Amino acid sequence: MALDIPVVSFPSGLVSDRSSEASTLDLPREMDDRVTEVAIDRQGLVHFRRLGGDDAREPAHVSPLRERGAGEAFLIAANAPERDEHGWEICRLCVRER
């Protein structure tokens, strides 16, 4: 049975409840403060756009929200289906609250 788990979105600080079965992604190795957008494509690759046009991609490591620990940072698809110009799902940086 899926339960709701509160997560905090960054940089907004908004708290929202997400299903414990929601797919989450490990933070990419290449993630840094120059990253402006993160998306996952249909082949399971995480793409990130950086300031200055230095884009990167790497395989996505997916796990359900219920397996994340309190205070752990991860990426999760935006609550409302949000897609970029390629149709990839936009992801947001979040931390599990409890």
Per residue in 63-87, pLDDT tens?
899 999 888 888 887 666 666 666 5
pTM (predicted TM-score):
0.72
The one-letter amino acid at 78: A
Please give the DSSP secondary-structure letter assigned to residue 43: T
Higher per-residue confidence, 5 vs 23 = 5
Among 8-17, 33-42, 77-86, whose mean pLDDT is lowest?
Answer: 77-86
Q: What is the reported pLDDT for 16?
A: 87
All structural domains of the chain with their residue ranges: 4-96
What CA–CA distance (Å, rounded) separates 83 from 68?
25
